[in-house]
Every structure is written in C-alpha cells, then in structure tokens.
C-alpha cells in the first residue's frame, strides 16, 4: 500500500484554506501512524518546490484519499481519470449532489454533510505547532521627508523577508475608525490587540512605541535615510532593535527577529515600557511646573 492524500489545496486552480490543509495533514498522520507510506500533493502556487500532481505518478500509489471541501466539479472528476487504478476514498467532504460524477467516482465517501449525516470536520482533531504571531504595521508615504524617503524600497525588502517567515502575520492599522470593522474603533482596542502578539514588525513610529507600551518586542525599520522619527524614538526609549533604511535587508532583520522572540527581547520590552512611562511622567511634570 501507498497512499496519496489530496484536497482542494492540491489543485493548481484550487484554494488552500487552513481547514483544508489541516484536514489533509490529519489524514496523512493517521495513515502513517497505521504504517501506510503516504505522500501529500500540493498546488505549485501554494507550495512550490514540493510534490505536485505532475510528479505524483499514479503508478506509485494504491490509494488516493481526497480530504475536506466539496466533492464537486471538474477538478475532482479529473482525479478519478488520472488515478483510475487507485482505490479512491473521499473523507470529511461535503456532498452537494450524490449523483455527480465527482462523488460517484469514489469507491467510498465518508461525508461530513450533504448525505443526511453530520460528522465532525477533520480539522477539529488536527495537531499543529505553535508559531510566533507577528503584527505588521507599515508607515504611509510620509512625503514630508522628501528625498530622504525610502519607504518603497524598505517595505519591499521587509515584506519579501516577512513572507518567508514561519509565523502568523496580522496587518496592524493604527488608524482608528468607528464605521469600518477592519480598523479598531478605540486605542484601547488597538492595544488589546497588540498585547496578544509575540512581536511587532513595523516602519511606523507608533508601531514601535505602542508595541513597547504593551510590553511587546518590536523589530522597527526606519524608512527614512539618515534616520527619522522611528530612529529617534528608538534612541529615546533605548530600544536596540531598530534597523536603518540603508541597512534594510534579511541580514539585518534576522538577528533582531530572533532577539525579539527571545526571553531577553521580552525582558527588554518590559523594561522599555517601564522606563518610557517614567520619562513621560517627568516630561509632564515639567509641563505642569
């Protein structure tokens, strides 16, 4: 026996969702635990450089398992043609039309819904490894800096690097809005969001400051040549993880990323929060005096 586990994330014109991918992994784990050699096949658009359908020779497999999503459409029907010699099983799928070729082409269908039954989705029992949760806050154009602006180049370098990280990426918008659900309505809501992050990656001055105010380490990149307000705040708060626009690149980002996620980075963020609060208190005392 040798099994090939497929799903909608396997198709070039399919879609990779968290639930589908977790379900495919759950099936593969169960088969391997039972001693069945198992491969997973992925769309080259989702995961280049791994096993794709072009490489998954039907002659290498005795079983094909289709996991999660609707058992419906031409792409699923294509599986029956390409892997005609395999025993084909659908598990954890939605059955839209029990008479459709996409459904009847399977030797066995273990549906989650649509056939009169309702069984738990496969992803409910999926195992996963925890990865860092990173908020990404990017500065706007800031044309007031004139020729010193390097926002486009810095953001391109930063986002190219971020895309290669094994982390959960969350866009952070410091702009508040009460009529747009994509924005926090209050600063308290924004800080409540930041407090739940492991790290903030930012080119915004307030991205850095508000991360530290929440005790969260920030990897800050100044998008202004020669240093702008991001570098100034890094200096004022004695925060070391600030990369200059001239140095923007993976070689500069990587060490600070690791440091921000370390115990030392978390301790320093807590210290920066406390020291910054004391400095602000002193400034306000001068105002009142």
Same domain membership, residue 111 and residue 90? yes
Residue 64 maps to which CATH number? 3.40.50
Whether residue 289 is predicted with pLDDT greater than 80 in this model: the reply is: no
Same domain membership, residue 193 and residue 109? no
Same domain membership, residue 197 and residue 223? yes
Give the total number of structural domains in the chain: 2
Same domain membership, residue 264 and residue 245? yes
| pLDDT at residue number 2 | 97
Whether residue 118 is predicted with pLDDT greater than 80 in this model: the reply is: no
Residue 182 maps to which CATH number? 3.40.50.2000
Final residue in a domain of this structure, among 125, 160, 175: 125
pLDDT digits (tens, 9 = 90+) for 25-58: 999 999 999 999 999 999 999 999 999 999 999 9
Q: Rounded distance, CA 246 to CA 94, Å?
A: 52
Same domain membership, residue 264 and residue 149? yes
| pLDDT at residue number 109 | 95
Short-list 187, 179, 224, 178, CA closest to 206: 187
Same domain membership, residue 98 and residue 34? yes
Is 62 among the domain residues? yes
Residue 63 DSSP one-character state? E
Same domain membership, residue 120 and residue 140? no
Q: What is the mean predicted confidence (pLDDT) over 246-250?
A: 96
Residue 182 DSSP one-character state? T
Residue 196 DSSP one-character state? T
Domain housing 30: 3-125
Whether residue 147 is predicted with pLDDT greater than 90 in this model: the reply is: no
Is 289 among the domain residues? no
Same domain membership, residue 50 and residue 143? no
Is 157 among the domain residues? yes
Same domain membership, residue 178 and residue 93? no
Q: Rounded distance, CA 254 to CA 164, Å?
A: 11
* 88 touches 80 (CB < 8 A): yes
Final residue in a domain of this structure, among 93, 125, 157: 125
Q: Rounded distance, CA 106 to CA 252, Å?
A: 52
Tell me the percentage of the chain whose pLDDT exceeds 90. 85
Name the more confident of 86 and 280: 86
Q: How confident is the model at residue 114 (pLDDT cuts 50, 70, 90)?
A: confident
Is 288 among the domain residues? no
Final residue in a domain of this structure, among 125, 154, 189: 125
Helix (H, G, I), strand (E, B) or coil at 4: strand
| pLDDT at residue number 143 | 83
Is 238 among the domain residues? yes
> What does DSSP say about strands 133-137 and 218-221: parallel, antiparallel, or unpaired?
unpaired
Strand ranges, E, within the chain: 3-6, 38-40, 63-67, 87-94, 108-113, 133-137, 168-171, 199-202, 218-221, 242-243
Is 48 among the domain residues? yes
Same domain membership, residue 90 and residue 113? yes
Is 101 among the domain residues? yes
Is 286 among the domain residues? no
Cα Rg for the chain, rounded, in angstroms?
Answer: 25
Whether residue 148 is predicted with pLDDT greater than 90 in this model: the reply is: no
* Beta pairing partners, 108: 89
| pLDDT at residue number 179 | 95
Same domain membership, residue 185 and residue 58? no
Same domain membership, residue 113 and residue 9? yes
């Amino acid at each position: 026996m040798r099994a090939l586990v497929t799903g909608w994330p396997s198709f070039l014109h399919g879609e990779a969702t968290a639930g589908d991918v977790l379900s495919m992994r759950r099936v593969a784990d169960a088969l391997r635990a039972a001693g069945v050699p198992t491969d997973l096949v992925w769309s080259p658009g989702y995961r280049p450089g791994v096993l794709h359908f072009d490489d998954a020779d039907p002659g290498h497999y005795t079983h094909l398992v289709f996991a999660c999503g609707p058992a419906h459409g031409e792409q699923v029907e294509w599986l029956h043609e390409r892997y005609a010699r395999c025993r084909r099983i659908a598990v954890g799928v939605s059955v839209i039309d029990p008479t459709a070729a996409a459904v009847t082409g399977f030797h066995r269908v273990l549906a989650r819904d649509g056939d009169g039954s309702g069984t738990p989705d496969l992803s409910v029992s999926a195992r996963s490894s925890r990865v860092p949760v990173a908020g990404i806050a990017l500065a706007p154009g800031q044309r007031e800096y004139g020729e010193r602006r390097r926002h486009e180049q810095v953001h391109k370098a930063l986002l190219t690097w971020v895309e290669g990280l094994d982390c959960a990426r969350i866009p952070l918008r410091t702009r508040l809005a009460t009529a747009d659900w994509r924005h926090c309505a209050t600063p308290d809501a924004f800080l409540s969001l930041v407090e739940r992050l492991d790290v903030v990656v930012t080119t915004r001055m307030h991205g850095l400051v508000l991360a530290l105010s929440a005790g969260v380490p920030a990897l800050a990149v100044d998008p202004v040549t020669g240093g702008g307000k991001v570098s100034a705040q890094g200096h004022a708060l004695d925060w070391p993880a600030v990369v200059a626009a001239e140095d923007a690149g993976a070689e500069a980002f990587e060490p600070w990323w690791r440091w921000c996620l370390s115990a030392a980075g978390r301790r320093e963020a807590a210290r920066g929060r406390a020291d910054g609060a004391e400095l602000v208190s002193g400034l306000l005392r001068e105002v009142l005096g």
